Structure 1
Amino acid sequence: MHTEYSESENVIRRLHQITQSYDKGFDFQIHALIQLGLERFDLDIGILAQVEGDTYTIRYCICPEYMPLMPGNQFEFGMTYCAVTCESDGVVAVEHVGNSDILGSHPAYRHFGLESYIAIPIHVGGVTWGTLNFSSPAPYPRAFKDIDIDSLQLMASWIEVEMVRRMQENQLRELNVKLKQMASTDPLTKLMNRRAFTEKLLRSVNHFRRSKQPQEAALLLVDIDYFKELNDTYGHLLGDKVLIEFAKVLTENLRSYDIGARYGGKVFVIWLVDTERSGIEVVCDRLMSGLDNLALVDEKLTASVGICHVKTRQVDENALSQFVKPAQIMDAMVARADQALCQAKANGRAKTVFCSEEPVYLDTLS
């Protein structure tokens, strides 16, 4: 009795060490757990397998060279001992399969010839996920003890809890990503929303103003013309469709490092980096043409564009502290682009207007 108690204490101690080794990763923990089982049961093959429909897939295994099994190997579920294990209420432990009424006539015995077998179903979220099983071609020299059953149940319990924890962690991570995406995305157009655009623009402006070499960029405000009349004539559903389709036009005509967003209502905002006036004009022409080609209504769809074209000049690090803050620069660019947009609309709309003939130096904005 004392010996069995010591064995049980040793299994629990080692199991505790393994399960606390989070810093070493899940793969390490599972392999260590299987190795513990092989030593405890004195068997040759240890497998954690997943069952999906009629397919049995080895996820983790430790086995000798004469049994070349490896993770990813798949078998027909009904051809494995685990088909019996998954139907049981707990541990299946058979010392000599050839003499067993349960497994002696099983196809897996004829195919693999595994004489010793001890296994338990793994349940995750109330559903049978697979099995943890240990086996050997040689008959087990003694009867499986209560400590063997208890040890396997402890191993399975930890695996089940850890899998649920990892699944919940993944779900929480995916939910957080989704929530973050929702918080930064305009629900109608799926473009970046105004808040997210502002945050990204601030970072870009800060990087832009610290450039060692002179660079040019531009902030564009794009306003779809006569949008209220469009809604009044065709309804808000058609108006929403125009916004959605124009958002696609915008996305298709921007480079991966440019930033485009729905700024509010029928106004879109674009930040073009590393571009001269001719490049800005090309983008505007493409946006105008793309909007015209939507063919969603009988009337010609047009937009007015106000542009603040800016430029940096080489400034040393000490001088940067004297600059206005990126937020002030951004507000000034938006204000100038908005003034140019108002001028475009006053000039008959369907126009592209720059706030100045030459790029505005960034250090003069306030």
Structure 2
Amino acid sequence: MDDLEGDFLLEVNKYKRLFHITNKFHSSLDVDILIGELFITLQEVYPDFSYYLLLSQDTHSHSDLPIIDLEYDGENIAAINAYVLGIVQFEYSIVDKHVILYAPLKGRQGIYGVLQVIAPNTAEFPDMEVEFITLLAGSAGSALENAQLYQQSRRAIADLELINETSHRLNSNLRLAETMTFMSEQIISSFEAEEVGFFLFSQDQETIKVLPGSTTYFFTKQARIYIDYIKEKIQKGNEPLFIGDITLPSFKNIKSFHSIIAIPMIQSENLKGFSIIMHQTPYFFSFETFKLLQSLLHHSSLALTNSMLREELEKLVITDHLTKLHSRKFLDEKIQNSMKKDEEGTFILIDIDNFKEINDTYGHQIGDELLIQVANLIKGNIRGNDVGARWGGEELAIYLPLVPLDVGTTIAERLVEKVSASSTPHITVSCGVSYWNKESLDSYKYLFKRADEALYLAKGTGKNKVVTQEDNIKVS
């Protein structure tokens, strides 16, 4: 076999290899596998050459492969020209005695990188090698494009599923705390955020409230610097924020966050609040994450608003407008539920003494202010699970679940003393106290009747005092 025939067979085998690798490229939609196959082929065909893959998007982690970022503002003009123009470029080095070929990885819709091949000990690439490497790079570019389009479609489907699932769940009449907790869990799971916060502006836009469902970090003092910074930015522009690397003053030995996305919550063109996700690593969130979070919150905003409005409405229904104590209906339900499941409870009925004379003397506005004063004293003298309520007119009430009569009487006496000592203009109140326990048959109706009778006795025997159901029995 002469040299010419041998070279011919080598070329035939090389192009057979190209055909084989092209089939391999297009049989896989895994970008990692495609890149690995490209380097295997290069090593087999050009064992004496060096090669690098310059990718325009650093979306792959190949610590064992010669892949580097394609720097658009770098000094490698030949690589940039190959990428921008889509034409093979050459770079010659007389000193180092090598030539470098840059072949674009070209698909139908764009160019995805540049293959750099370094041929040592030569002044010029043979035309046959240029053609082969160009075809190889083109085949790899086409396969990379297909794989990336496939992965993009998979991501788009996953994003739509996330939005659909979240919207469906949020529109199932969840409570506000449940709604925000679900949103927080979805965001942490989908975006790998370290901290997630939801914030609601006050009516004057001056203060903000951290909503339930936010991660615990946002309820700490350390978070205020981030919350205040984002609050100011959101209020200025009403626009989403995508921050890749921010450095704010932080507490010593306390973690600081560099990657931040903040999305305003807007209802009827009014800024209602905002959400924040954060990560300590700079540039952790991608622009795709930013757009997806925007879309997710946009589709969820109606459900979030409905949850807030529903709870505001419920609060109005169970709250007296003037005193901000609970309504009579709410109190009735709480007492009846307590009498079914608790062991005991104390009921206090409160009446402002001489209230008609106060209204006649000072006017109804002062009368309302005095009702508010007494209501505030009630709120300051009961626990979180106790219930203070507007009973009707100038009558107020307190229910103390799991509290015995003597303790309830002490609370009522303390309230009588505080009203007399601190009200302006000066007023007094009278209290009737009743009690129930599991040991005797009782009902809500008779519990109220005993308190009402004790109150009647208090009013008729000097006012500004507390009378219990036991005192009333002794008098009777």
Q: TM-score range by the shorter chain?
A: 0.5 to 0.7
Q: How far did residue 354 of structure 1 move?
A: 2.2
1:8 is aligned to 149
Q: How is 1:33-44 mapped onto 2 (pairs within 5 angstroms)?
A: none
Asked whether 1:302 is paired with 2:428, we answer yes
Q: How is 1:95-110 mapped onto 2 (pairs within 5 angstroms)?
A: none
Q: How far did residue 263 of structure 1 move?
A: 1.0
Answer whether contact 2:159 2:292 (CA < 8 A) is retained. Answer: no
Asked whether 1:238 is paired with 2:399, we answer no
Structure 1, unaligned stretches of length 5 or more?
33-49, 60-69, 76-121, 131-135, 137-151, 315-322, 360-366
Q: Distance in 2 between matches of 1:217 and 1:124?
A: 44
Normalization by structure 1: what TM-score? 0.56
Q: How far did residue 191 of structure 1 move?
A: 1.1
What amino acid is the match of 1:26? Answer: I
Q: How is 1:13-28 mapped onto 2 (pairs within 5 angstroms)?
A: 13-21=154-162, 22=165, 25-28=186-189
Q: How is 1:200-239 mapped onto 2 (pairs within 5 angstroms)?
A: 200-208=334-342, 211=343, 216-239=344-367
Deviates more, 1:167-176 or 1:154-163: 154-163
**Residue 354 to residue 27, structure 1, CA distance change in 2 (3 Å):** closer
Q: Distance in 1 between matches of 2:231 and 2:429?
A: 58
What amino acid is the match of 1:72? Answer: F
Q: Distance in 1 between matches of 2:306 and 2:256?
A: 28
Bigger relative contact order, structure 1 or 2 (CA pairs below 8 A, ≥6 apart): 1
What amino acid is the match of 1:338? Answer: D
Answer whether contact 1:303 1:351 (CA < 8 A) is retained. Answer: yes
Q: How far did residue 10 of structure 1 move?
A: 4.7
Asked whether 1:269 is paired with 2:397, we answer yes
Q: CA RMSD in A?
A: 4.2
2:325 to 191, 196, 203: 191
Q: Distance in 1 between matches of 2:472 and 2:264?
A: 69
Q: Secondary structure at the match of 2:417?
A: helix
What amino acid is the match of 1:309? Answer: Y
2:464 is aligned to 350
1:73 is aligned to 258
Q: How far did residue 58 of structure 1 move?
A: 4.1
Q: Secondary structure at the match of 2:422?
A: coil
Q: Secondary structure at the match of 1:232?
A: helix
**Residue 265 to residue 25, structure 1, CA distance change in 2 (3 Å):** same
Answer whether contact 2:389 2:398 (CA < 8 A) is retained. Answer: yes
Q: Distance in 2 between matches of 1:74 and 1:11?
A: 23
**Residue 71 to residue 15, structure 1, CA distance change in 2 (3 Å):** farther
1:57 is aligned to 243
Q: Secondary structure at the match of 2:463?
A: coil
**Residue 29 to residue 18, structure 1, CA distance change in 2 (3 Å):** farther
1:278 is aligned to 406
2:190 is aligned to 29
Q: Distance in 2 between matches of 1:295 and 1:282?
A: 20
Deviations 1:207-262 (A, max 9, x none): 12xx4xxxx43211111111011011101111111111111111222233322211
What amino acid is the match of 1:172? Answer: N
Asked whether 1:251 is paired with 2:392, we answer no
Residues paired across the two proteins, number = 250
Q: Distance in 2 between matches of 1:234 and 1:196?
A: 31
Q: Secondary structure at the match of 1:181?
A: helix
Q: Which protein shows a greater Rg?
A: 2
Deviations 1:313-366 (A, max 9, x none): 29xxxxxxxx67xxxx1122112211222222233432322233599xxxxxxx
Q: How far did residue 182 of structure 1 move?
A: 1.8
Q: Secondary structure at the match of 2:431?
A: strand
Q: Distance in 2 between matches of 1:302 and 1:358?
A: 21
**Residue 71 to residue 158, structure 1, CA distance change in 2 (3 Å):** farther
1:293 is aligned to 421
Normalization by structure 2: what TM-score? 0.44
What amino acid is the match of 2:430? Answer: S
Q: Which runs of 4+ in 1 moved over 6 A?
A: 152-156
Q: Distance in 1 between matches of 2:389 and 2:264?
A: 46
What amino acid is the match of 1:291? Answer: V
Answer whether contact 1:222 1:268 (CA < 8 A) is retained. Answer: yes
Q: Secondary structure at the match of 2:470?
A: coil
Q: Distance in 2 between matches of 1:123 and 1:239?
A: 43
Q: Secondary structure at the match of 2:389?
A: strand
Answer whether contact 1:246 1:290 (CA < 8 A) is retained. Answer: no
Deviations 1:184-218 (A, max 9, x none): 1111111111111112222211112xx4xxxx432
1:67 is aligned to none
Q: Distance in 2 between matches of 1:343 and 1:244?
A: 25
Q: How far did residue 160 of structure 1 move?
A: 3.0
Answer whether contact 1:51 1:57 (CA < 8 A) is retained. Answer: no
**Residue 155 to residue 352, structure 1, CA distance change in 2 (3 Å):** closer
**Residue 52 to residue 187, structure 1, CA distance change in 2 (3 Å):** closer
Q: Secondary structure at the match of 1:20?
A: helix
